[in-house]
Amino acid sequence: DAGVIQSPRHEVTEMGQEVTLRCKPISGHDYLFWYRQTMMRGLELLIYFNNNVPIDDSGMPEDRFSAKMPNASFSTLKIQPSEPRDSAVYFCASSSGANVLTFGAGSRLTVL
How wide is the angle at C-alpha 31 spanned by C-alphas 34 and 59, nearest 5°? 35
Total Cβ atoms within 10 A of residue 24: 18
Which C-beta is closer to another protein: that of 71 or that of 98?
A: 98
> Among residues 66, 78, 105, 110, which is the contact residue for another protein, using CB under 8 A?
105
Q: Is 86 helix (H, G, I), strand (E, B) or coil?
A: helix
Give the residue with the Cβ less far from another protein, 17 or 106. 106
Pick from 11, 30, 31, 57 the residue near another protein by CB under 8 A.
31
Closest by alpha carbon to 49, among 31, 67, 34? 31
**50 near another protein, rule: CB under 8 A:** yes
5 is an interface residue for another protein by CB under 8 A: no
Smallest CA-to-CA distance from 5 within 26, 31, 20 is with 26
Site for another protein in 51-80 (CB under 8 A): 55-56
How far apart are CB 79 and another protein at their closest, in Å? 20
Asked if 43 interacts with another protein (CB under 8 A), we say yes
Distances in whole angstroms, Cα of residue 111 to Cα of each of 15, 39, 44: 6, 16, 19
Q: How many residues does the structure list for the chain?
A: 112
Interface residues with another protein (CB under 8 A) are 4, 31, 33, 42-43, 45, 48, 50, 55-56, 91, 93, 98-106, 108
